[in-house]
Structure 1
């Protein structure tokens, strides 16, 4: 290796380390926030003397803002530069957190959570795009493994920290805890991220944005309402869902015909990318849908508090994080198809083991021992599937690719949580509730298992050979 080559490699390594440091800290802040707020909904209902349906908008408003801004991530990176877009995302999220802590009623809390969501919607796709742009193909798996660290830290510490803050401090601290992390992320981003020149010639596809952003927001709102009401046929759920689908279809037509579309949908012609996107819709639907059920089962059927139910989730989160670190590093050397398919099988078996034991008096140690089996499988699927889908894209296609993956995952989570909420409500009504509601939870878990298993269909289309084993690189999209 010549001196110039070694110097270039060292510079690239330092640049990648800086990007990873900033992105991991920002992602930890976002993941912690979501997991902390999820355990605080009931206490917030008491504090603001509001019905739980209204307090649910603390989560729903954030999610809708997230969905509305994600489609603009690729354009924002091109128009303003990835560094400026990321700094803006951190600033919006941190400012929203501080304002949320000052809320004086449920309406203002929802409003400030929407501001947080606008920042949160840019954090993940912009951060992922910066990492992929900086890492070479040989180090892609290791870089994505480090990018998965928030998945280990957030779900482990979030529920416990949230329960502790609510029980020993006050609700204000579930938002104030983001301020020092956000300030650190802002300082490091300003110092460590390389300045990238914007492309002023890049025009915003306004028609595409005005169809996809409200389309996703209406679709997710309709699905969330269906989950709350226990029926997709309710007008309050059906109308926005249909409207969202129609707008999304309009965006697809626009994206396939426009000269400069908001997102390059032609990337889906690539089998590997399309298979990864499809798997990352179905698998998160089953996984995150099942995560909605666990705290409800522990708190309603078993009578546990928020902190106790959060502690029972720790073994699963540890298993996911450790497995993800190992699997994402290994995906550079093994068959992506074999790894992801094996992970789906293990995850489905682990959740089945949990489902078959769900009952009103099952020992907690048996339940806590079953979910880590699913966690091992989850770690083998989530980040490896993302890495495999996006690693072969041309550099100019990375922003659109990472945005499409994030949109698919967000829609999958919404579909899964809404579907399982509807199924749970239906089963609870049929079993009569009370202690017998354990049977309703058990039946609903089998739907989550089915969603996990369905992800095997697109995963079977992922490359059989390891990265770098193909004879020629994939060509950039001509559009």
Structure 2
């Protein structure tokens, strides 16, 4: 009864295609940084801006998605974002020098940052609230598998073609998405209010989120400088939140966070996204540095998690409709906690990859039951302008949580390794002093880092279980009730 119609499936497919391109480009260049250093004769500090410019462009654009959608219509802005993404992808692939490439990536990031929030707005607006879980099963999948597929695809393209293929590869799908939008996505009507754009809010929020994301993710500057940048960003965001809470037409309707359903689910999303995406950097380090295996094996070990997600997502929508988010997300968090705890228990310098693959499937299954159902639960009862704001708040908060989680996990792991190796770090494994005892100490650092990840996941489970079950509210808007 709640299945998507043929038209709704076509809309979902177009949105998923655009979303996959935007998310893939966040990680597809990770494996190519050494190649870029050789090609452009530049240091890693400079080359990292190929990835950083795209990431900062994304977080800068996300807060603007809701205002753009209300003022010009979600379909029109989404179409423009896809076109800009296609053009800048081609420009990056054709770059003749490093400055050109970094500039193209920055503009590409601005377009990519609009694609997923606007896609969520279009997808949720295209179906009745009770079928939004079915829509998200398709449209939200790129958010989960994109970060995993990016390095794998990047490695294959780099090995068989050239670094330019990393950018040209997204041009045809983006243009296909443009054609799909023109053919299948209905024209929407911009908000009748036409409230003035909250430029003051933008001048507070956009630099704030960029500063926080940069401070937590950029490792080429000193810790003292990063701390100042993060503090300044948090201060700007705090002023934005205080101002927007009382503003009649804010850039983002942050009053949604006081709604129990939206606020609780947003908190769960942040609490899980931070440690989950942060811990993704640990397995490649374990495989390539501690065990000395290839990057391809490291990429292949990401596949089991993707399989687990795919298996869960196939029936997540139906289970969510029948049992509700408390049971579904609670079960997903339990699976993620169990897989993390088992990894801590079984991890050694030579744990069989088959065992780690099984745990990866379990982790992926848990993630599939957490992320998409949480997004659906947060936005199921939103409509109109509040849907646009909610569609921007969720990916923005998840992106910031991922940046923070990655920085914290990396910092804890690095600190524990430094303590175990008398300051030598992972380089100690390649020297003459490397032995089984030292390797074991570094694996212990990995396990201790996962203990912190596990603790945050347990907090997320407590937040989910403390939310008493409630009937799905009738479609309404927080704004009108305020």
TM, length-normalised to structure 2? 0.90
- Counterpart for residue 370 of structure 1: 359
Q: Does 1:310 align with 2:299?
A: yes
Equivalences for residues 1-80 of structure 1 within 5 A? 13-80=5-72
- 1:323 CA displacement: 1.0
> Given the two structures, how large is their TM-score scaled by the length of structure 1?
0.91
Q: 1:359 to 1:105 in 2, by over 3 A?
A: farther
Report deviation, 1:93.
1.7
Does residue 440 in structure 1 map to residue 439 in structure 2? Answer: no
Aligned position for 1:203 = 196
Please list the CA deviations of residues 327-346 of structure 1 after superposition, one character each: whole Å capped at 9, or x if unmatched. Answer: 23321111311211221121
The correspondence for 1:256, drawn from 242, 245, 252, is 245
Quote the Cα distance in structure 2 between the aligned partners of 1:189 and 1:475: 27
Aligned-pair distance for 1:161? 2.2
Change (3 A) 1:177 1:262: same
1:266 lines up with 2:266 in the alignment: no
For residue 464 of structure 2, what is the aligned residue in structure 1? 459
Structure 2 CA distance for aligned equivalents of residues 329 and 151 of structure 1? 20
Q: Quickly say closer, same or farther: Cα 1:424–1:215, change in 2 above 3 A.
A: same
Where does residue 5 of structure 1 map in the other structure?
none
Match of 1:222 among 212, 215, 238: 215
Instruction: Give 3-state SS (helix, strand or coil) of 1:455's partner.
Output: helix
Using the TM superposition, name which of 186-195 and 47-56 deviates more.
Answer: 47-56
| Structure-2 change in CA distance of 1:443 and 1:389 (3 Å) | same
Where does 1:137-286 land on structure 2 (aligned, <5 Å)? 137-151=129-143, 154=146, 157-199=149-191, 201-225=194-218, 234-286=223-275
For 1:185 and 1:393, the matched residues in 2 are separated by: 26
- Partner residue of 2:119 out of 124, 127, 131: 127
Equivalent pair of 1:73/1:399 in contact (CA under 8 Å): yes
User: Structure 2: any 5+ residue segments left out of the alignment?
Assistant: 430-438
**In structure 2, C-alpha distance between the alignment counterparts of 1:473 and 1:110, rounded to whole Å:** 44
CA distance in structure 1 between the aligned counterparts of 2:295 and 2:454, rounded to whole angstroms: 25
The 2-side partners of 1:108 and 1:126 are apart by 28
Inter-partner Cα distance in structure 1 for 2:82 and 2:468: 36
The residue aligned with 1:112 is 104
Specify whether residues 294 and 53 from structure 1 end up closer, same or farther in structure 2 by C-alpha distance, changes over 3 A only: farther
Deviations 1:416-465 (A, max 9, x none): 00101111221121121333333332222222222222222332354514
1:83-109 C-alpha deviation (Å, 9 max, x unpaired): 111011112222221111122344332
Preserved CA contact (<8 Å) 1:268 1:274 = yes
Classify 1:394/1:180 alpha carbon distance in 2 versus 1 (closer, same or farther; 3 Å).
Answer: closer
Which whole-Å CA distance do the structure 2 matches of 1:133 and 1:355 have between them?
43
How far apart are the structure 1 equivalents of 2:382 and 2:150? 34
The change in CA–CA distance for 1:138 and 1:305 in structure 2 (over 3 A counts) is: same
Give the distance between the partners of 1:253 and 1:153, measured in 2 at CA: 35
On the 8 A contact 1:336/1:462 being kept in 2, the answer is: no
Compare 402-411 and 434-443 and name the one that shifted more: 434-443
What's 1:477 paired with?
479
Which position in structure 2 is the counterpart of 1:295?
284
Q: Do 2:383 and 2:475's aligned partners in 1 also have CA atoms closer than 8 Å? A: no
> Of residues 91, 97, 108 in structure 2, which corresponds to 1:99?
91
Q: Is the 1:70–1:122 contact (alpha carbons within 8 Å) kept by the matching residues of 2? A: yes
Once structures 1 and 2 are overlaid, which stretch shifts more, 136-145 or 416-425? 136-145
CA contact (8 A) 2:81 2:115 kept: yes
SS of the equivalent of 2:323 reads: coil
Question: Secondary structure of the residue that 2:281 maps to in structure 1?
Answer: helix
Cα distance between partner residues in 1 of 2:448 and 2:45: 24
Say whether the 8 Å CA contact 1:337–1:461 is kept in structure 2: no
Q: Counterparts of 2:41 and 2:292 in 1: how far apart (Å)?
A: 22
The aligned counterpart of 2:436 is none
Distance 2:466 2:93 in 1: 47
| Corresponding residue number in structure 2 for 1:6 | none
Unaligned runs of 5+ residues in structure 1 are 1-8
Shift of 1:474: 5.3
For the structure 1 residues 258 and 148, does the alpha-carbon distance in structure 2 shift closer, same or farther, using more than 3 Å as the test? closer
Once residues 206 and 214 of structure 2 are traced to their aligned partners in structure 1, the CA distance between those partners, rounded to angstroms, is 12
Answer whether contact 1:285 1:452 (CA < 8 A) is retained: no
